[in-house]
Amino acid sequence: MAAASPARELTQNPLQKTWEPYDNGLPAGHSAQRGVCMTNCPTLIVMVGLPARGKTYISKKLTRYLNWIGVPTKEFNVGQYRRDLVKKYKSFEFFLPDNEEGLKIRKQCALAALNDVRQYLSEENGHVAVFDATNTTRERRETIYKFGEENGYKTFFVESVCVDPEVIAANIVQVKLGSPDYVDCSNDEATEDFMKRIECYKNSYETLDETLDKDLSYIKIMDVGRSYLVNRVMDHIQSRIVYYLMNIHVTPRSIYLCRHGESELNLKGRIGGDPGLSVRGKEFAKSLAQFINEQNIKDLKVWTSQMKRTIQTAEALGVPYEQWKVLNEIDAGVCEEMTYEEIQENYPLEFALRDQDKYRYRYPKGESYEDLVQRLEPVIMELERQENVLVICHQAVMRCLLAYFLDKPAEQLPYLKCPLHTVLKLTPVAYGCKVESIFLNVEAVNTHRDKPENVGVDRSREEALRTVPNHL
């Protein structure tokens, strides 16, 4: 029997409060943090489909989702490479199958894009690359697959198949008419040219085949999500991607985000807790009810957290609402119900650490923004499934949700402005999201604390508290 080897000592990371083993005072291997999902080898997602089938829409949305859940992802749009190389787009003739010059340039662009993919995945710590191009021939897909194999990437194809002329026409109007390719054309000219462009691809289009492509990993999306064919899902990340793609839709709708009305603790500058609404908070709830009525929203769903202040706000609306525990405010652990001044007084080191990396910082016995994002993922998934929804939540929670919709990176997320008594109306448009900010004319305290200039642990009390908003 081998002698028992002494277990390594554990040290607690002061920022994230996670326990890590160390050897000779340095962090050692053997321990991995499960953020959301660990991807072992990088993944190359390859879009497949005729023009105007939503490939770029899916690429961008999927990239946004993966980055939000913490998987470094980047999209590579070959059309963009083509625009950079061929300064001025003339007409669909560039895409004719017998246009030698065009073919040469297009292949060059694809290779340039793949080169950047390789750099991103193998040198820049990217986990997932989305290769957004038509990739409609088996030959092109084999080239990409081989490229993936050579570099140790797993390849996953996402094909979008659609024959509904209305959908295609709508896509063209939404995203093609405004494309840099058609900046000097009338809408009719652009549409006509684009339809001819699609024709160029049709003859050589080889859709993913159940027999010929049976060993590839892919999802085939048919008619904007009416049905899906899923083949050989290899791992966790592919499974999550499939689940996400199967839950998104393109039906027009709006998402309304707001915080609870001003609370008693807000007034005193205290964080967390489970207080009720202040007088002004109750006024806001009534204004919110009026606002919602005026908006005349079809089949609006209303969601709250399980904390009193959001529920009280929803109560004023007089409509059914659903409570989600996962929408509860970030848990500030030992700092619950303290003012920033008290936190500085009692935990000056923690206070400084938080300012150094607000996204990853975890309150002692509490949570971090990073934890919050993981907690909120099912909310995002359900928001994708739903249509018109009003989410009444909290400052940190709203920042996380907003960062998802507006594609804000982790560094910016904890500083997004989400003031009390203000509704953000999000409407998907083209490849992104239109935001309208509506202040409901009921005064409230400001709870937003900007990042102070001095985040060092040896800063003065005054420097630490300089950006604290006023309170009672």
Give catalytic residue positions: 260, 329
- Residue 421 DSSP label: T
Task: Compute the CA torsion angle 197, 201, 203, 209 (nearest 10 deg).
Answer: -150
User: Is 250 near another protein (CB under 8 A)?
Assistant: no
Site size with another protein, rule: CB under 8 A = 54
On whether the CB atoms of residues 28 and 22 are closer than 8 A, the answer is yes
Query: Of residues 314, 398, 403, 445, which one binds another protein by CB under 8 A?
Result: 314
* Residue 302: its H or E element: strand 301-304
Only one of the segments 6-14, 101-109, 391-399, 419-427 lies at the binding site for another protein (rule: CB under 8 A); that segment is: 6-14
The binding track of 321-360 with respect to another protein, each residue x by CB under 8 A or -, is xxxxxx----------------------------------
Identity of the residue, 311 or 468, whose beta carbon is nearer to another protein in the bound complex: 311
List binding-site positions: 259-266, 309
On whether the CB atoms of residues 24 and 134 are closer than 8 A, the answer is no
Tell me which residues in 384-403 interact with another protein (CB under 8 A): 385
The binding track of 113-132 with respect to another protein, each residue x by CB under 8 A or -, is --------------------
DSSP bridge partners of 302: 390
Minimal distance in Å, beta carbon 314 to another protein?
A: 7
- Cα separation, 395 vs 421, in Å, equals 11
195's tokens: 């339809």
Minimal distance in Å, beta carbon 150 to another protein?
A: 25
Distance of CA 268 to the CA centre of its chain: 33
User: Is 8 near another protein (CB under 8 A)?
Assistant: yes
Query: Of residues 97, 180, 228, 443, which one binds another protein by CB under 8 A?
Result: 228
Q: What is the DSSP string of 201-266?
A: HHTT-----TTTTTTS-EEEEEGGGTEEEEE---SHHHHHHHHHHHH-------EEEEEPPPBHHH
Tell me which residues in 30-89 interact with another protein (CB under 8 A): 30-34, 38
User: Is 96 near another protein (CB under 8 A)?
Assistant: no
User: Is 216 near another protein (CB under 8 A)?
Assistant: no
Minimal distance in Å, beta carbon 447 to another protein?
A: 21
User: Is 1 near another protein (CB under 8 A)?
Assistant: yes
Sign of CA pseudo-dihedral 328, 330, 336, 341: negative
Within 10 angstroms of residue 62's Cβ, the number of other Cβ atoms is: 22
Which own/partner contact pairs does 230-238 have at CB distance under 8 Å and 24+ positions apart?
234/154, 234/156, 235/39, 235/40, 235/154, 236/37, 236/38, 236/39, 237/37, 237/39, 237/43, 237/71, 237/127, 237/128, 238/43, 238/154, 238/156
Only one of the segments 99-107, 148-156, 256-264, 319-327 lies at the binding site for another protein (rule: CB under 8 A); that segment is: 319-327
Query: Of residues 14, 27, 97, 318, which one binds another protein by CB under 8 A?
Result: 318
Minimal distance in Å, beta carbon 308 to another protein?
A: 5
Minimal distance in Å, beta carbon 330 to another protein?
A: 14
- Cα separation, 398 vs 470, in Å, equals 21
User: Is 291 near another protein (CB under 8 A)?
Assistant: no
Only one of the segments 17-25, 176-184, 344-352, 394-402 lies at the binding site for another protein (rule: CB under 8 A); that segment is: 17-25
Closest CA relative to residue 128, chosen from 215, 56, 48, 67: 67
- Cα separation, 176 vs 409, in Å, equals 27
Minimal distance in Å, beta carbon 49 to another protein?
A: 18
Identity of the residue, 113 or 314, whose beta carbon is nearer to another protein in the bound complex: 314
Query: Of residues 58, 161, 172, 242, which one binds another protein by CB under 8 A?
Result: 242
Residues that bind another protein in the complex, under the rule CB under 8 A:
1, 4-5, 7-8, 10, 12, 18-19, 21, 29-34, 38, 210, 214, 226-233, 236, 239, 242-243, 246-247, 306, 308, 311-312, 314-315, 317-326, 365, 371, 374, 382, 385
